[in-house]
Amino acid sequence: MTVFRGGIVQGKIDDKGRLHIPAKYRKALSREAENKFFVTISPAPGCLYAHPLDLWKEFEKKLSLLPESPQTDAIIRRLYRLGDEFGLDSQGRIMLSSELLQSAKLDKDTVIAGVGKRLEIWNPQQWKELQEKDETPLTSGYYDLQRLVEENYKKNMGGQ
């Protein structure tokens, strides 16, 4: 399974809309991802999510099980309207559509962050603003996250 670990990398988008994916992230892609990403909007302004294709397909299965509602339909429609599948070229780049670039206000410079099961591609100014907000203490949030992980693990492992 693909897991992206380790920090952030400054990235560049060329004149054709191609973004070079750093080697450490390309090496982390599982074989099942077929060197492809599904790239879509994120809830955060100035950011795109790049999901390895195999993990996106797993997520799609879960999406298909959700009950239909106007809110769910609107979110799913937006994910697919702006999202698309992009394969790595021989230089380790993915081509990003102009719609995605515009939606995240991405131009030339980017910040690429490995965040577990996905890459986040940030507008540098939005990233900087996020980092300034994120300077709050993590203690309570970390313990809440740890509790949720433990509860979810137990539930999925049959209470073991």
Question: pLDDT for 56-100, tens place per residue?
Answer: 999 999 888 888 889 888 888 988 998 999 999 999 999 999 999
| Cβ proximity of 2 and 54 under 8 Å | yes
CA gap 32, 155 in Å, rounded = 26
Going from the N-terminus, what domains does the chain have, and what CATH number goes with each?
8-124 (3.40.1550.20)
Residue 111, number of CB atoms within 10 A of its CB: 21
Does the pLDDT of residue 159 top 80, yes or no? Answer: no
pLDDT per residue over 31-63, tens digit each? 999 999 999 999 889 999 999 999 999 999 988
CA gap 58, 126 in Å, rounded = 29
Q: What is the pTM of this model?
A: 0.84
